[in-house]
Structure 1
Amino acid sequence: MPLPKYDLHCHTTASDGALAPTELVRRAAGVGVEVLAITDHDTVGGLDEAFDSAAAEGVRLLTGVELTASWGRQVVHLVGLGFDWKAAALQDYLRRLDALRFERAQRIAQKLQQRNLPDLLPAVLERSAGGQVGRPHFAAALVAANVCESEQQAFKRYLGPGKIGDVKMPWPTMKEALELLHQTGGVSVLAHPTKYRLTFTRLRTLLSEFADAGGVAVEVSYSGVKPEHQRELQKVARQLKLRLSAGSDFHRPEQVWVELGRFMPLASDEGHVLELLL
C-alpha cells in the first residue's frame, strides 16, 4: 500500500526553527502532511505542545529528535524516531548536549569579540527563547547588529566550516548516540548525508560504519540533495540493508524553496523506515 504523505525531518522554535510547535503542526496539516516527526536539534522540548496540536489537527505525530554526534573528527546528525521521549536515559543525555551547546555559544561569542564584534551572546540567548541555541541564532544576531547583510553572509564570513565561529566540541560519538536511541526504543536515521561535504568514498565508509553500529536508515531525500546523489544513496542503502527515510528539513517559512512534506519523490517506498513506525 502507498505510504501516507509524511515529513520526518523538520524544526521548531525549540531549536533553530522559526515556527512554534503548534504553528508548525498546523502548517503541516495545511499542506496535507498526515504523518509528521518534529526533529529539533538535541531537544524534545517542543513535543508536549506538538502532540496537543497534532491531536486537534488530525496529524499523526511521531516522536523525533536530531542528535549531534561525532564520527572521528566529522560532526554528523542522527535523526531518532519513535523513541520513548520521557525515558530518564534520554533526558540525561539531552542535558549533556544542552550543556555542550551553551558552552559552544559562549565560545563563539568570545571568538567573535576577538574580531572586534559586539558581544552577541545576550541577543542570541534571547532569540533562542529557552530552546537549544545554535549557529543560526548567531547568524540572525549578526544581521540584526548590522554586521552582515544576510544570514548566508554571516555563515560565509564568520560561522561556516573553517571560520572563526566554527567551534569544535566533544560531541558524543555516533556509536553512543545510536546506543541511546535504540535503548529508548527508537529508530536511527543518518540525516542529510551529502551535506557533510564528504567524498562519496568517505560517505560510503560513514554509511558502512553507521550500519555496523546498528544504524537503521538513511535520509535519501531532503532539501538540496541532487537527483544523482539520491540515486547513489538509495543504491548504497540497498547494499548495506539500510532503510530509507526522507524529510524537508524545514526551518522557516521565508525559505520558500523548502516546504513541509515537499522533497524529491523516492523511486520506491520499499524498505521505507515508516514500515517500522506505523
Structure 2
Amino acid sequence: MNDRIDLHTHSTVSDGTYAPAELVRYAKEKGLRAIALTDHDSIDGIDEALAVGREVGVEVIPGVELSTDFSEGAMHLLGLFIDRTAPSFLQRLAVFQAARRERNPKIIKKLQEMGFKITEEEVTAAAGGGQAGRPHFARVLMEKGYVHSITEAFEKYIGDGGPAYVKKSQPSPEECIALIHEAKGVAVLAHPNTLRLPDDKLNGLFERLVNAGLDGIEVYYSTHTPEETVRYERLAAEWNLAKTGGSDFHGKHKPQIDLGVGKGTLRVPSSLLETLRRRKERRPP
C-alpha cells in the first residue's frame, strides 16, 4: 500500500488550475493514498472530490485554508476533517468570500492607474468560474506580456506590499481556530516559514495559538528548508502539536510545485493522518 499523502492542495474552486475531480484523479496517478482539498475560504469543491475519491480509491479529507490578520508576515490556518454542513461555518465563509470579491475591483483600479490594460472580466474568466484571486490577476498579466511569470507578477506588482496590493479584511488567528473547531475540524498552522518570525518571537506566538486551541503545524512543506523542517518538528514536540505536511499544489499557478512531492523531495507519511484523526476524536462534540 502506498504510504504517501498530501494534506494541502487547491483546485479551480479557489486558485488552483485542476478541477476537484481532476485533482483527485491526479492524486491517484501520483500514487497518493489520501489528499486534503484545502481551497481558500471555500468548500465548494469537496463533494465533487469526495465522489471521485470513492470511485478511484483515494481518501479525500474535507478541508479549507483561511487567511488571518497577522502583521509580521502571512499566517494561514488549515481546517482539516471539517463538517461542511455547519451553519455558522458556512456563514463566515460567505463573509470571507465577499471580502475577496470586494478587493478585486480595487486591485484592477490600481493596475489600470499604473498603465496596465486589464479588466475585471478578464480576471473572472481566468478563474474559470471559481473564486477569482491574485493568481488569476497574475495569469492575465502574464498572458498579456506584462510579466514573464506568475512569480514576477507577485514580486513586482500584486504581492504583499506591492504597488497594486490591496489588503482585505481578515479575521484574527483566534477567530479562525474557533471557526474551524465549530465545524468540528482540526486547526493547523500552514507553512510556518511565511510567518517571518525569529526564534525568540516564535514561542510567544505559539503560546498564543495553543491557548486558542491550535491542533497542529505543517512541518513538511514544499518550500521548507531542511533546517526549517527540523525547527518545526521541534516546535511540534515542545507544544504537543500534531505534525502535518502538504505540497500546497496549485497546478500551473505554481509550476515548480507538484502534487505529493513539492519540488521533488517532499514526502508526507500517512501515519500523520492517524494522529490527526485522534486529535479530532478527542474534541468534545
TM value normalised by structure 2:
0.89
> Judging changes above 3 Å, is the alpha-carbon distance between structure 1 residues 265 and 28 closer, same or farther for their aligned structure 2 residues?
closer
Q: How does 1:1-278 map to 2 (within 5 A)?
A: 4-72=3-71, 74-252=73-251, 255=254, 257-262=256-261, 264-265=266-267, 272-276=275-279
Q: Is the 8 A contact 1:178 1:213 kept in 2?
A: yes
TM-aligned CA deviation for residue 72 of structure 1:
4.9
Q: Deviations over 1:162-217 (max 9, x none)?
A: 21222112201111111111011000000001023333333443333211110100
Q: Is the 8 A contact 1:3 1:269 kept in 2?
A: no
Identity %: 35
Structure 2, unaligned stretches of length 5 or more? none
Structure 1, unaligned stretches of length 5 or more? none
1:68 maps to a residue whose letter is S
In 2, the alpha carbon distance for the partners of 1:106 and 1:199 equals 35
TM-aligned CA deviation for residue 247 of structure 1:
0.6
TM value normalised by structure 1:
0.92
> Judging changes above 3 Å, is the alpha-carbon distance between structure 1 residues 123 and 201 closer, same or farther for their aligned structure 2 residues?
farther
Q: Deviations over 1:58-77 (max 9, x none)?
A: 11111111011113565421
2:9 maps to a residue whose letter is C
Q: How many residues align?
A: 277
Q: Is the 8 A contact 1:220 1:246 kept in 2?
A: yes
Q: Secondary structure at the match of 1:86?
A: coil
In 2, the alpha carbon distance for the partners of 1:99 and 1:202 equals 33
1:119 maps to a residue whose letter is I
